Amino acid sequence: MALSPLLALAAGVALTIAVWLVQVCTKTHPPSKSTTATTTTTTTTTTATNNTNISRPPSIQTIFHALTSPLRQIPGPLSSRLTNLPLKQAVTSGRRIFHIDALHKAYGPIVRISPTEVAVGGDVAAFRQIHGVQSKFAKDLWYEKLTNFPRLSVFTMRDARQHAARRRLFARAFGKGFLRERWEGAVREKCEVAVGKIREEGLEKGVADLMKWWTFMATDVVGVLGFGESFGMLEAGRRTEYIRVLEAALVGNGVGAELPWVRAIGARVPVRALREAFNSSEYILAYGTKAVENARTGGRDSNLMATIMAEAEKGGSRVDEMDVRTESTSLIFAGSGTTANTLTFLSYAVLSQPALQQALEQELAMLHEGFSDADLEQLPLLNAIINETLRLYCAVPGSLPRVAPPGGVTLGGYFIPEGTTVSTQAYTLHRDENLWDNAQEFDPYRWLPGREISPGAKATFCAFGAGATSCLGINLAWMELRFGTAMLFRECRGLRLADSMTPEKMELENYFVITPKGKALEVVLKGE
C-alpha cells in the first residue's frame, strides 16, 4: 500500500473527528469557497509548526487563554485561537500550503493559523524583519524534529553560532568558482547521459519519462559530489534500494516533524512502507560511511565532504565521522528530488507553450560545442525560464518556521510575543497579486531586461530560502538546472508532451518538496 493512504488511515480519521468536534463546540467553519485559493495548479504540502501536540476540543482553560492571549488581536478563524486541529488535518491530508494560503486570502497578510503560530504573507517589511541578515528570529524546534539522526546537520541546526560555524566549512565547497573548477565536468557528464537516455527511451518506446531521468541524474550528481561515487541510477535505469528508502524517509520526515505521534506509531507498524518512512535512520546513515572512506582515501577534494573536512582541519574545527555521515546524507535529501522536480516542472511549463519552446531552442542553437556553465549563465531567456520556474514551482514552497525573539516583536502592526512560531511560505509570496503582475501565469519574459519586477517582489523572492540560513546548494542547483535545460532543448528540438499527459497529472503534490501528482512527465521526440 502507498504511504499517503496509510497516513490518511492512521491520522486523517482521528483528526477529522476532532476537527468536527471543534467546529461543533465553536460553531465555526472553514473559509467559504470564495476565499479558497484558486490557481491553475493544485498544491499540497507538508511543513512546519512548533505545536506538535494534537489539541483536544477546547476546554474552559483553552477558551480563557484564547480570550486573554496577546495573539487574540491577530486576524484568523476562531478555531485557530482554540486548537491546531484544522492545521494538523491540513498536514495529514497534504494541504497545509493551501490551508494557509486560503487564510491569507480571507484575513490578510498577518493571520493566526493555530494557538501558537502566526503566518506572514505579502507584508514586505515583516518578511525583512523575519528573514533579514540581522534578524533575531531563531529557527523553530521543528528543524530538530525533522530527522531521527543522532546529530544535527547544517540545515537542522537551530543555534545561530553553531549554524554559522558549520556553514563556513561549506563556503568553499559550494562556492560557484570551486564548483565550476572541480565539479562542472561531472555535472555536465551526468546531464549528457540523462538526455541521451531520454532520447534512447523515446526512440525505443515512443514515449520517454523526463521526471524519471531527471531524478536519476540529480541523484547521481549528488552521489558523486557528496559520496565520491555515483549511485549508478542513470546506467541501471532504475532506483537503487537505498534511494527508494531515502525517498520514503523524506516523506516520513516531513510528516514526523509535524506529528511525532504518527512517526512513533508508524515506526512500529509491521508495514514496510511505514517502517521505511519512519524507522530507517540507521540504514540511511550507514551509507554515509562511503563518504567518509572516500574522503580519507581520495584526497582533499575527492568529494564535497573531503573539502569540508579539510576546511575544518585548517580552521581548527572538529568534524567527526558521524558529522560527515549526517551531512552527506542530508545532501542527498536536499539535492536530489528538489532539482529533479524543478527540472520536471520547468520542462512541462516550456512544452506547454510552443512559442516559448521555439524561442528557447533558437537561443540554445547559438551555443558553441563544449559550452560551459559560464556560457549558459549569459543566456537571458534560459535563465529567465529557470527563475520563473523557481517562482511558481520552487522545490520547498511551504513554511520554514522561525520563533519570535525574546521580548517579542511587532509585525504588521501586531505584537507577537516571544516564543511564538512565525512563518512565511514561498507559495503565497510568489503568487501575491500585489507583488507580481499576472502572478498566476508562467511568464519568464518578466525577468528579461525592459520588464520591471517590483522591489517588494524581489525582496520576498525566496525560492532558496532567505537570510543567513538560505540554501547552501544554490550554485550547484543552478548549474544542474542550466545544463539539464540546455541539453534537453538543444538535443531534443521539437520535443512535445505525450497525449497521456493531462493537467491533472501535473497538479502539485507536496510532502516537504513538491512533485507532480502523476509522478511522471511523458514526452514524445520530434517525428515519433
Confirm whether 186 is domain-assigned: yes
Alpha carbon distance 57, 63 (integer Å): 10
Confirm whether 6 is domain-assigned: no
- The model's pLDDT over 124-167, given as tens digits with 9 standing for 90+, comes to 999 999 999 889 999 999 898 888 788 999 999 999 999 999 99
Confirm whether 33 is domain-assigned: no
Burial category of 165 from C-beta neighbours within 10 Å (exposed 0-12, middle 13-18, buried 19 and up) = middle
Confirm whether 17 is domain-assigned: no
Closest to 521 in 3D by CA, of 280, 208, 304: 208
- The model's pLDDT over 311-343, given as tens digits with 9 standing for 90+, comes to 888 877 778 888 988 898 888 888 888 999 999
DSSP at 447: G
Domain that holds residue 472: 70-525
Q: What is the pLDDT of residue 57?
A: 57
Domain holding 214: CATH number? Answer: 1.10.630.10
Alpha carbon distance 70, 301 (integer Å): 53
C-alpha distances in angstroms, 218 versus 153, 184, 277, 344? 21, 13, 21, 11
Question: Average pLDDT, stretch 174-199?
Answer: 98
Q: What is the pLDDT of residue 528?
A: 62
List residues forming the annotated binding site for heme.
Answer: 471
* pTM of the complete model: 0.86
Q: How confident is the model at residue 24 (pLDDT cuts 50, 70, 90)?
A: very low
Q: How confident is the model at residue 181 (pLDDT cuts 50, 70, 90)?
A: very high
Q: What is the pLDDT of residue 458?
A: 97
Between β-strands 117-120 and 421-424, what pairing exists: parallel, antiparallel or unpaired? parallel
Name the residue with cell 474552559: 60
List residues forming the annotated binding site.
Answer: 471
Confirm whether 465 is domain-assigned: yes
Provide the percentage of residues in the chain whose pLDDT is more than 90. 59
Confirm whether 286 is domain-assigned: yes
Question: Average pLDDT, stretch 265-272?
Answer: 80
Provide the percentage of residues in the chain whose pLDDT is more than 70. 89
Measure the N-to-C terminal CA separation of the chain; round to a whole number of Å. Answer: 36
Provide the domain count of the chain. Answer: 1
Alpha carbon distance 332, 291 (integer Å): 12
Alpha carbon distance 221, 184 (integer Å): 10
